[in-house]
Amino acid sequence: MKTLIKNGTILTMKEGEAPYKGDLLIEDTQIAAVAPEIEAEADRILLADGMVIMPGLINAHQHSPMSLLRGFSDDLKLMDWLERKMLPAEAKMNPDDIYWGAKLAMAEMIRSGTTAFADMYVGMDSIAEAVKETGMRASLSRGLVYLQDDGGKRMREAVDLIDKWSGGADGRITTMLGPHAPYTCPPEPLQEVIEYANTRGIPIHIHLAETKEEVGIIRERYNQTPTEYLYNLGLFENSHVLLAHAVHLTRKDIRLLAGMKGGIAHNPVSNLKLGCGIAPIAECMRQGITVGLGTDGAGSATTLDLFEEVKAAAWLQKLDYGDPTTLAAAQALRMGTTRSAKLLRLDDAIGTLEAGKQADLIMIDMRKPHLQPVHDVESLLAYSANGADVDTVMAAGKLLMQARRLLTIDEEELFREVSRRAKKIVAGV
């Protein structure tokens, strides 16, 4: 199957490459060519006049089934939000609920230009099935919370996920190990996870220093910061690690993370909404740490639109440093594309538009008042665009949305299911 996209503004997201008018040729799942003009026979031609063609956005931290709990517990502190609302409601979810919640998240992500995401949750078979059906790309990890001894059940489920789904959905699914956070993972089980990850070369996805409360808990238990706790257990010695949040880092913490494999998934909207703080990502980036973007779950962030995260990330750093030159538009966009691809350990396959990479891309309709005139494409995309401006979405060469119509999800069925299931889940909580 050959697809030729004609007459768009190409934004490859390759370092130092400016946007240009051009064409893009796709053969099966891969990009075959990107050039100012391509003459080739194709089975399908897509006209991109007035549109920007860029890599699909990549959500580096997500809890997709929490879409069922969107708007259910707003305006609470994180620990109250988690213990009084989220955990009791989540305990009532069955595998089918998890499937439909994940599918709702995927519908929103596709509609707002996200083609790949990293997910940490339970009931991961249900999420993997939804990924398989919707055509998205995902890195999945079974969340591991060690507040009670479960006889190894959680770890077995994490390993089963890896064995069953790594390379699944025609290669669109990859896997990680997901120890939840320093305050829910004591040293012994966390070391077991680290050793297993090192033995099999599996990446690790973990929350870090999201709140001041977490910092206080770890200081009281171990007389260390959460970062020091993970560092001294050897987490960063060999493993590729995806750190979610990393809001409360000391200068010493940042020095300890410099040179790590992997990096930080910054979740500015969730951190703002929960009052967690402003992560020092500009300083992290100056120290060579890769920083990508995530939304967190819709139960906290409410929105899964990564364009909103791009805006929030840039604006927060400018405000925090009192310097409008901090985190420029091009940098913020790369956080949601090339740098998030590195966090998912998929930068050899996605994140830029170039021959040989997977055809994960989006087309953004610029023919709108808030996107005109076009002086600087990257500035408009970073500061003015939103998910509703995305016209077409493709992953692995397959159209997931065209002309704002979802092609792999029946939205009417989806809305019926999530409405019924959400009411049941929150009843009495």
Q: 25-74: per-residue pLDDT in tens?
A: 999 999 999 999 999 999 999 999 999 999 999 999 999 999 999 988 88
Would you list the domain boundaries of the chain?
2-54+357-406, 57-343
Q: What is the mean pLDDT of residues 321-341?
A: 97
Read off the tokens for 383. Answer: 């500061």
Task: For 357-385, write each residue's pLDDT tens digit.
Answer: 999 999 999 999 999 999 999 999 999 99
Task: For 123-153, write each residue's pLDDT tens digit.
Answer: 999 999 999 999 999 999 999 999 887 878 9
The matching CATH number, chosen from 2.130.10.10, 2.30.40.10, 3.40.50.720, 3.50.50.60, for 2-54+357-406 is 2.30.40.10
Q: What is the pLDDT of residue 78?
A: 75
Q: What is the pLDDT of residue 372?
A: 98
Q: What is the pLDDT of residue 74?
A: 84
Q: Do domains 2-54+357-406 and 57-343 have the same CATH topology?
A: no
What is 57-343's CATH topology?
TIM Barrel (3.20.20)
Read off the tokens for 108. Answer: 């929103």
